[in-house]
C-alpha cells in the first residue's frame, strides 16, 4: 500500500494522537514535522501534552505554518484497559483527537497508541456509515505478489479484532469497505476480494461465510474470487481478505509469530555456525531487499473502516517515517473520499 498522494491535492488536516506510543511523543512529533516538510497540502494537529510537543518541535526541522497543537493532559497507556481508561480519562489525547475530528477540526485521526482505546474513542465520537452495522479493523500483510499501479506488496486483511462475531451482512460490508480502501490506497482498480475459510469450495466454512460467499458472488462491482485458505495470505492470492474479528486476530497473531520465529532462527543460525553465518551473509542483499519491500514503516498504518471519519492505526513501534507515512495514507483516504466510495458500494 503506497503513500502516494494524488496531483493537485486539496488541503487536509490530520489529527495525531501524540501520546502513548512505544517510542514516546517526540517520535510522533518528528513524524508530523517530516510530513510538514514533505507534503505542503497536509496540515497536522498534534494532540497531547503541549510542553512535550513544543520541546520536541523546537528541536526538529519543521514548517510551523502547517502544524498546530491541542493540549491534552492525559493519555492512555498500551497496557491499560480501553473502556476503563477512557471512562477515567475523558481528556486523554486519543479521545480529544477523536472529538476534534468529529467536530471537523481535522479530517482524520492517526494514532500509534492503544488500539482498543483508539477504536473505542472513534466509536464514541464518529458515526457509522449508513448501511454499516459494525466497524472493521484492517491490517496489511506483506505478500509474494504485488498489486496496483505502484506494485504494492501488501494485502489488506479485515477484520482483525473490532467485530469478534461477524454476520454474513457484516462480512459483505467488510468486503465492500476493503475493496474501496484498496482501490484508493493501492491504486488497484479491481482489487481481488476473498473470504477466509477452511477450503476454497463455496460451501466450505460456517453458515455466515457460506451465505456471504453466495451474496458476494452476485455483486458485480466487487471482484470476488471466492474463498481462500490461510496459506493463500502470504502468497498474495487475494488483495483483500475478509474474515471476522476473532479469526482475523488469531490469524494475524499467528503470522506475526511465524515471522518472529523465522527471525529468531536466523539469529540462532548466525550465532551457532560459521558456515550458516557465511550462508546468511551471502543472502544478505536479498534479505535486505525483501525487508525493504515488506517494511511496514513504508506503509505507516492500517484503517478502521466503517466510520464516517477516518482513523489510521499506526503500529505502536512506529518511528517517525512510519508516522509520516500514516499521515499520508490518512490524507490520501480523505482526499479520495473513502466514505463516499463505501456508501456507493453498499448501495449496489
Partner 1 sequence: MSLPDRIDPRPPRRIYRWDLDKTYLQTEFDSLRDLVRTAFQKAHQKVAVPGASALIRELSENGDSRLCIVSGSPKQMRAVLEEKLKLDGVRWDEFVLKDNVGNLLRGRFRALRGQVGYKLPAILESRVHAPVEAEEVLFGDDAEADAFIYSLFADLVAGRVDERVLSQVLEAGGVYPDDALRVREAWKKIPVGDPVRRIFIHLDKLTPPAHFTPYGPRVVPIFNYFQAALVLLADGHLTAPQVLKIAVEMVQTAGHNIITLSNSFQDLLRRGLPLQQAAVALSQALEGPNKLLAAMRPMPDILAAFSKRLAALGTPPPPPPVQAVDYVSLIHHALPRNHKGRTKPQ
* Contact criterion met (CB below 8 Å) for 134 and 306: yes
User: What nine digits make up the cell of 246?
Assistant: 476473532
Task: At 138, give phi and psi (nearest 5°).
Answer: -105, 160
The residue range among 66-74, 290-298, 314-322, 324-332 that interacts with partner 1, by the rule CB under 8 A, is 66-74
Using CB under 8 A as the binding rule, whether residue 54 contacts partner 1 is answered as yes
Using CB under 8 A as the binding rule, whether residue 30 contacts partner 1 is answered as no
Give residue for cell 523546537: 58
Q: Which of residues 263-322 bind partner 1 (CB under 8 A)?
A: none
Using CB under 8 A as the binding rule, whether residue 192 contacts partner 1 is answered as no
Using CB under 8 A as the binding rule, whether residue 63 contacts partner 1 is answered as yes
Using CB under 8 A as the binding rule, whether residue 9 contacts partner 1 is answered as no
Rule CB under 8 A: choose which of 4, 38, 52, 68 binds partner 1: 68
Q: What's the burial of 98, exposed, middle or buried (CB within 10 Å: 0-12/13-18/19+)? A: buried
* Contact criterion met (CB below 8 Å) for 297 and 23: no
Using CB under 8 A as the binding rule, whether residue 60 contacts partner 1 is answered as yes
Rule CB under 8 A: choose which of 1, 2, 3, 13 binds partner 1: 13
136-147 sheet: strands from edge to edge: 67-71, 42-48, 12-17, 108-111, 310-314, 301-305, 136-147, 152-158, 240-242, 192-196, 223-228
Closest CB 88 distance from partner 1, rounded Å: 20
- Cβ contacts of residue 296 below 8 Å, gap of 6+? 140, 142, 315, 322
* Contact criterion met (CB below 8 Å) for 176 and 132: no
Binding mask 100-129 for partner 1 (x = CB under 8 A): -----x------------------------
Using CB under 8 A as the binding rule, whether residue 38 contacts partner 1 is answered as no
Pairwise CA distance, residues 113 & 22, whole Å: 8
Using CB under 8 A as the binding rule, whether residue 10 contacts partner 1 is answered as no
Of 57 and 323, the one with the shorter C-beta distance to partner 1 is 57
Closest CB 46 distance from partner 1, rounded Å: 10
Closest CB 82 distance from partner 1, rounded Å: 25
Closest CB 70 distance from partner 1, rounded Å: 4
Count CB atoms within 10 A of the CB of residue 315: 20
Query: Which residue, among 127, 34, 118, has the nearest Cα to 78 in the 3D structure?
Result: 118
Q: Which of residues 208-237 bind partner 1 (CB under 8 A)?
A: none
* Contact criterion met (CB below 8 Å) for 312 and 137: no
Task: At 122, give phi and psi (nearest 5°).
Answer: -65, -45
The residue range among 21-29, 50-58, 263-271, 272-280 that interacts with partner 1, by the rule CB under 8 A, is 50-58
Closest CB 207 distance from partner 1, rounded Å: 51
Of 15 and 119, the one with the shorter C-beta distance to partner 1 is 15
Q: Which of residues 69-98 bind partner 1 (CB under 8 A)?
A: 69-71, 73
The footprint of partner 1 (CB under 8 A) covers: 11, 13, 37, 43, 50-51, 54, 57-71, 73, 105
Amino acid at each position: 500500500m503506497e503513500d502516494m498522494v494524488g496531483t493537485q491535492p486539496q488541503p487536509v488536516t490530520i489529527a495525531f494522537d501524540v501520546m502513548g506510543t512505544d517510542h514516546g511523543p517526540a517520535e510522533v512529533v518528528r513524524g508530523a514535522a517530516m510530513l510538514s516538510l514533505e507534503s505542503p497540502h497536509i496540515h497536522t494537529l498534534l494532540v497531547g501534552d503541549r510542553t512535550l510537543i513544543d520541546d520536541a518541535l523546537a528541536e526538529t526541522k519543521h514548517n510551523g505554518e502547517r502544524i498546530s497543537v491541542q493540549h491534552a493532559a492525559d493519555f492512555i497507556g498500551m497496557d491499560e484497559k480501553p473502556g476503563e481508561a477512557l471512562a477515567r480519562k475523558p481528556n486523554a489525547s486519543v479521545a480529544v483527537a477523536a472529538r476534534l475530528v468529529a467536530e471537523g477540526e481535522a479530517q482524520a485521526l492517526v494514532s500509534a497508541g492503544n488500539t482498543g482505546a483508539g477504536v473505542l474513542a472513534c466509536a464514541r465520537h464518529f458515526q457509522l456509515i449508513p448501511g454499516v452495522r459494525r466497524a472493521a479493523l484492517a491490517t496489511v500483510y506483506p505478500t509474494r505478489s504485488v498489486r496496483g499501479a505502484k506494485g504494492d506488496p501488501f494485502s489488506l486483511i479485515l477484520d482483525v479484532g473490532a467485530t469478534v462475531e461477524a454476520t454474513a451482512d457484516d462480512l459483505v460490508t467488510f468486503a465492500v469497505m476493503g475493496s474501496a480502501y484498496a482501490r484508493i490506497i493501492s491504486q488497484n482498480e479491481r482489487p481481488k476480494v476473498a473470504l477466509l475459510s477452511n477450503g476454497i469450495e463455496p460451501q466450505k466454512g460456517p453458515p455466515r461465510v457460506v451465505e456471504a460467499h453466495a451474496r458476494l458472488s452476485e455483486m458485480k462491482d466487487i471482484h470476488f474470487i471466492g474463498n481462500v485458505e490461510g496459506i493463500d495470505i502470504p502468497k498474495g492470492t487475494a488483495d483483500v481478505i475478509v474474515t471476522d474479528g476473532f479469526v482475523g486476530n488469531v490469524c494475524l497473531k499467528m503470522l506475526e509469530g511465524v515471522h518472529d520465529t523465522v527471525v529468531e532462527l536466523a539469529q540462532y543460525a548466525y550465532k551457532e555456525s560459521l558456515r550458516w553465518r557465511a550462508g546468511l551473509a551471502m543472502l544478505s542483499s536479498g534479505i535486505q531487499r525483501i525487508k525493504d519491500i515488506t517494511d511496514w514503516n513504508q506503509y505507516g498504518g492500517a484503517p478502521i473502516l466503517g466510520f464516517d471519519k477516518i482513523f489510521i492505526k499506526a503500529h505502536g513501534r512506529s518511528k517517525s517515517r512510519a508516522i509520516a507515512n500514516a499521515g499520508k495514507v490518512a490524507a490520501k483516504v480523505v482526499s479520495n473520499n473513502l466514505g463516499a466510495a463505501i456508501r456507493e458500494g453498499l448501495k449496489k
